Amino acid sequence: MVKNGLSDQQPTTLRPGSRWRKRLVLGVSILFATVLTGAVLAQIILHFFARRGAASPIHLMRVWDAKLGMSHPKPSLLLRFSGMSGDAPETIIRTNSWGFRGDEFSPRKTAGIYRVLCFGDSFLFGAGVNNEDTLPHRLVGLWSVRGRRVEAYNFGVAGNNAFESTKLARKICPMIESDAVLFYFNETDLWGISAETSPFIKRLSDASSFFSILSGHLPFLKGEIEQVLSQELQVFRREYRGRPVVAVCGDVDPLLLRVLSARDIPVVDVTAIHTDRRYHISRRDGHLNAAGYAAVAAMVAKRWPELPPQPIGAVQSRP
């Protein structure tokens, strides 16, 4: 009712509970918008750097290998480039006919030779350093000085995670005679493993490199990641039984260390080298420089005789 132009209705007053709910909705909306904006910006930045990375010879020359079910550098490749990665003024990358870094080799090993197959990502591949500075090459040099005939071959693929490195080892080891396997893992080796847990997560990871990286740090996915990786390593250990398997780990997630321990894979911890950015890390991209690989190789060569089940033994090296 209106009297003298004035309404007799009382003004609406918000109850405390209603005011609290509105503030909560507003806060959640702002938080969601902030996270969404950050994700979009991160995706744009990652896409920019991915495009820059795609221009580098290493990524540009990758090919799909139907037999292995994954991509790796083009076989019989010789690349010279500068300023892309690492601290060296010029980097020379050679791949063999298998499509992996290093010299040619026969699937059958020579009697008296101790052969180590090495698997990992760009840290094993040796992004930014020449072939002679990579970990497998330096290990052979150190073991040679100690009077051992050793071969170490590099099956590192830039961008692989721990699951993909293990999967590649399962493919390669039946094809090539060997005496031991060395994995090289670092802080990025859980990225993208969540894609193996479900088709939905895989679609998200394929659509967004930001989510692929983020998923390795999400607590609610850690259990699935641990299970998937543990199962793959268990299968590998069963197939490669009776021979030493060693993991070189630099600043890795505790989850990965837990999985390696559960599968009885001894670890050489090189975190001190990975975190020494003054002397051992490239100023350009965060990979190890030549001094870093020399330090890691020295630590692995020193620890190897202590690792189960048996030391390499007194044999002599071949260049």
Domain boundaries, the chain: 19-55, 62-306
Q: Which two tokens stand for residue 12?
A: 């609406």
Which band of pLDDT confidence, cut at 50, 70 and 90, is reported for residue 313? very low
Mean pLDDT of 189-197: 81
Regarding predicted confidence, which is higher, 147 or 18?
147
The domain defined by 62-306 folds into Rossmann fold (3.40.50)
Spell out the residues 6+ positions from residue 184 whose beta carbon is closer than 8 angstroms to its own.
118, 119, 120, 121, 123, 124, 135, 156, 247, 248, 250
Return the pLDDT at 199.
Answer: 72
Calculate the CA dihedral of residues 219, 221, 222, 225 and round it to 10 degrees: -170
Secondary structure class of 256 (helix, strand, coil) = helix
pLDDT score for 47: 45
Task: Identify whether the C-beta of residue 86 lies closer than 8 Å to the C-beta of residue 129.
Answer: yes
**Is the per-residue pLDDT at 223 higher than 60?**
yes
pLDDT average, residue stretch 266-292: 89
Look up the pTM and report it: 0.77
